[in-house]
Amino acid sequence: MRQSLSIIGQAVNQMEAGEIQANVRRIARPPKGEVYIRTESPRGDFGVFLVSDGTDKPYRVKVRAPSFCNLQSLQHMLREAYIADAVIILGSTDIVLGEVDR
């Protein structure tokens, strides 16, 4: 902890005087078009699809949660399985139902 505080103190002493936070607009106006961004999450790929018409409000936003795709695979995993095994199979996929309901 002392070493960490020493490093933080050195960084603060080397900072130049002036404003810390830049004057940046809080509302972004993305250019007209569409984009899909995906990133890794603990349960799989998390994706966001955004369509912009050039204004500050998106024309369309679609969020693809990884649990949604994992839930779709259950129909194949549960085929010819016992009902008692359904709880175990569902638990093994680690699906968050709140994430599915977007």
Domain locations in the chain as residue ranges: 2-100
* Chain mean pLDDT for the chain: 88
Higher-confidence residue of 28 and 36: namely 36
How far, CA to CA in Å, does 48 sit from each of 13, 27, 51? 41, 19, 10
pTM above 0.75, yes or no: no
Which pLDDT score is estimated for 102? 66
Is the pLDDT score of 18 beyond 70?
Answer: yes
CA distance 81 to 70: 18
What gap in Å lies between CA 65 and CA 62, rounded to an integer?
Answer: 10
Taking only the tens place, the pLDDT of each residue in 63-97 is 988 888 888 888 899 999 999 998 899 888 888 87
